[in-house]
Amino acid sequence: MKKKINWNTITVTVLVVLGLVLGIKITRGIIVQHEEKIKQHEELINLVKEETPKIKRYVHKQDERHAIKTITIEYQKTHMTPMYFISIEGYINGNKELGFEVDADARTEGVKMYIDGFECSKKMGKLIGFE
């Protein structure tokens, strides 16, 4: 007497195993990608920390009225824009309403960071004479 092969059970088992393998690979890929983004962000923050004196000098140069007493850079808000510029946010004189954003390029040959742009809140603009 021959045993009948239950093809439905075999098919379901194979599909479950394939599903598990694919699920694990996809999950691992997502985790690796997330860890890579965290590592890149940490490297970006380290670069900004290294170049903080240059950034602060640049912000001070925008101050026509010499109203800036302190500059705070919000390192965790630092990010890479889609155009591959580094966006660095901060504020002055301990007041978050006096915010600014500096754009920098880390791909410029010969320098670690080339500061290429400055924007600030209206309130800060009036205080420093930027507007």
Predicted local confidence at residue 2, as pLDDT: 65
Sign of CA dihedral 17, 18, 24, 27: negative
d(CA 51, CA 66): 22
Q: What are the Cα distances from residue 66, in Å, to 58, 97, 117, 120, 130?
A: 13, 18, 20, 15, 11
What's the mean per-residue pLDDT of the chain? 91
Q: What is the pLDDT of residue 67?
A: 94
Contacts of 33 (CB under 8 A, 6+ apart): none
Q: Which two tokens stand for residue 22?
A: 């694919």
Sign of CA dihedral 123, 124, 128, 131: negative
Low pLDDT (below 70) residues in the chain = 1-2, 131
Domain ranges of the chain: 1-131
Over residues 7-35, the pLDDT tens digits come to 888 898 999 999 999 999 999 999 999 99
Q: How much is the pLDDT for 111?
A: 80
